[in-house]
């Protein structure tokens, strides 16, 4: 069956316009499919301008340490090495990508200054005539470290006396409007626990997850005759990358041109502005094209993964399955720097307590700094792991009550017009109908009262 969506239109041409809606329910070829399967799609690594230089990074061998000195003597002696960049060469070395939407402070150096905060943090960039020379030069950089204690667990990072990860924040957590976490307060959850027939509490946890794209992160920067820089990048966010790179370089936005849009896999992992700024500085200083691309090890080790999360959920539940209170404590591991994780933590808070109408909700969602690789975006970040925990909680509650897990969900599902915990009115919910259809498709029998339920009324409750 083909479904079509069209606006209500009583004009003489309404029927003709309705027939124009032919995509929904149809098989539609991707616009880029032919180029991919014929090998004609051009990726950034297909750009090979004459005089191309290669950039490779010397990275931290410590999780947490002060830098007492950097010796470039051996690296500069490698044949083919043209230049080595340090933090002193970056016009605005300190940044945070979300400053474009007012999230501050700047907290991450492009190249490390006096300290490293995670294993693999970039310290200096070696620019050479060949990739082999750049790799050899990077390997010959000598760094003198003073080791510092590191912290890798979110709750340990918040404990008194924990090593301070990021001095730009002055504490191991991101603050939201003066609070130590992103908070949700709706109703009286402690009163709900006192009234409940049952109180259930469980813990859920995820590890960092690497996006592992087939094409690794990278770019080629080509200086133009008019003084502009043309950046061929596999970024997932062309204008976001352009604006952040311009701020780091201290140049007007119109001095940069991003050529992108073709991404060999990203899944959220290519929204951080990591390779373009330093490649641009190298191109400006040498007046030659520069290529900077991660190898597979770098992609797995230092590209931003999905954040690790730890979630405690405590529910106040009545004998009939009604959840009258939900308390959530969430810890999101940002790694050493903020990047996109403060935003992801806000999304997580807004998603609590899930798609359920619970009259009393309490949530503390912490964005925590540890000495791990900075985390960032991946496929619905801030919501995906929360959904895993929330739906696992629903299944466990149902088992504890010897109740059908679909009936538990239908009983508690929010309806159109319900006020969510973050005080937005729910509309277009459709959860009830989705659960009913799923039950029908797998032959899961629901009682008549549950089959009569809908997302627009509270019939059957």
3-state secondary structure 117-176: CCCCCEEEEEEECCHHHHHHHHHCCEEEEEECCCCCCHHHHHCCCCCCCCCCCCCCECCE
- Compute the average pLDDT of residues 332-350: 96
Q: Assess if CATH 2.40.30.10 describes domain 182-209+305-451.
A: no
- Compute the average pLDDT of residues 211-237: 96
**78 pLDDT more than 50:** yes
Q: pLDDT of 207-216, one tens digit each? A: 999 999 999 9
Pairing between strand 53-59 and 290-293?
A: parallel
Domains of the chain by residue range: 1-39, 50-148+229-294, 182-209+305-451
Specify the CATH class of 50-148+229-294 in words: alpha beta
Q: Following DSSP, what letter does each residue of 206-241 receive, concatenated?
A: E--B----SSPSEEEEEE-TTS-EEEEE--S-HHHH
- Distance between CA 377 and CA 371 in Å, rounded? 18
DSSP state of 179: B
Bridge partners of residue 218, in order along the sequence: 293
**3 pLDDT more than 60:** no
- The residue assigned the tokens 């609590």 is 352
Q: pLDDT of 133-159, one tens digit each? A: 999 999 999 999 999 999 999 999 999
Report the predicted TM-score, pTM, of the whole model to 2 decimal places. 0.91
Q: CB-hemisphere CA count at 13 Å for 5?
A: 4
What pLDDT, on a 0 to 100 scale, did the predictor assign at position 1? 37
What pLDDT, on a 0 to 100 scale, did the predictor assign at position 173? 98
What pLDDT, on a 0 to 100 scale, did the predictor assign at position 24? 80
Q: pLDDT of 154-187, one tens digit each? A: 999 999 999 999 999 999 999 999 999 999 999 9
- Compute the average pLDDT of residues 106-128: 98
pLDDT band at 19 (very low <50, low <70, confident <90, very high): low
Q: Which residues contact 230 (CB under 8 A, 6 or more apart)?
A: 221, 222, 224, 257, 259
- Per DSSP, helices labelled H in 352-453 are 384-400, 405-412, 431-441, 448-451
Q: What is the mean pLDDT of the chain?
A: 93
- C-alpha closest to that of 336 among 8, 74, 116: 116
Pairing between strand 198-206 and 142-147?
A: unpaired
**17 pLDDT more than 80:** no
pLDDT band at 18 (very low <50, low <70, confident <90, very high): low
Tell me the percentage of the chain whose pLDDT exceeds 70.
95
Could you tell me if 279 and 348 are in contact, meaning their C-beta atoms sit under 8 angstroms apart?
Answer: no
Q: CB-hemisphere CA count at 13 Å for 218?
A: 24
CA distances, 432 to each of 403, 409, 439 (Å): 17, 8, 11
């Amino acid at each position: 069956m083909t479904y079509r969506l069209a606006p209500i239109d009583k004009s003489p041409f309404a029927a003709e316009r309705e027939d124009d809606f032919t995509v929904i329910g149809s098989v539609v070829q991707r616009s880029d499919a032919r180029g991919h399967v014929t090998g004609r799609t051009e990726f950034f690594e297909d750009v090979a301008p004459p005089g191309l230089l290669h950039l490779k990074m010397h990275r931290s061998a410590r999780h947490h340490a002060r830098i007492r000195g950097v010796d470039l003597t051996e690296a500069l002696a490698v044949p083919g090495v043209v230049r080595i960049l340090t933090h002193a060469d970056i016009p605005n070395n300190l940044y945070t990508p979300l400053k474009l939407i007012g999230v501050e402070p700047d907290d991450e150096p492009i190249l490390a200054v006096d300290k490293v905060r995670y294993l693999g943090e970039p310290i200096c960039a070696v620019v050479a005539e060949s990739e082999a020379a750049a790799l050899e030069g990077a390997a010959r950089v000598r760094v003198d470290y003073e080791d510092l204690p590191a912290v890798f667990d979110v709750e340990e990072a918040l404990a008194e006396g924990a090593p301070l990860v990021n001095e730009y924040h002055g504490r191991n957590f991101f603050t939201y409007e003066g609070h130590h976490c992103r908070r949700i307060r709706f109703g009286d959850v402690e009163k709900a626990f006192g009234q409940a027939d049952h109180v259930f509490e469980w813990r859920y946890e995820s590890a960092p997850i690497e996006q592992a794209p087939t094409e690794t992160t990278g770019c080629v920067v080509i200086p133009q005759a008019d003084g502009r820089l043309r950046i061929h990048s596999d970024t997932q966010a062309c204008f976001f990358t352009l604006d952040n790179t311009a701020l780091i370089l201290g140049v007007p936005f119109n001095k940069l041109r991003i050529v992108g849009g073709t991404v060999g896999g990203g899944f959220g992992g290519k929204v951080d502005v990591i390779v373009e700024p330093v490649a641009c500085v190298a191109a400006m200083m040498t007046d030659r094209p520069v290529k900077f691309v991660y190898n597979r090890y770098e992609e797995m080790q230092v590209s931003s993964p999905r954040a690790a999360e730890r979630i405690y959920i405590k529910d106040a539940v009545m004998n009939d399955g009604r959840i009258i209170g939900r308390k959530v404590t969430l810890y999101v591991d940002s790694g050493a720097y903020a990047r996109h994780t403060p935003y992801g933590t806000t999304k997580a808070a807004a998603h609590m307590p899930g798609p359920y109408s619970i009259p009393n909700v309490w949530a503390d969602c912490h964005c925590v700094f540890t000495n791990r690789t900075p985390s960032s975006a991946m496929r619905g970040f801030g919501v995906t792991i929360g959904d895993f925990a929330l739906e696992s909680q629903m299944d466990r509650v149902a088992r504890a009550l010897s109740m059908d897990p679909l009936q538990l969900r239908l009983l508690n599902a929010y309806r159109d017009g319900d006020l969510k915990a973050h005080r937005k009115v729910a509309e277009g919910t459709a959860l009830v109908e989705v659960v009913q259809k799923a039950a029908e498709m797998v032959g899961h029998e629901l009682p008549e009262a549950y089959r009569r339920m809908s997302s627009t009324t509270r019939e059957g409750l």
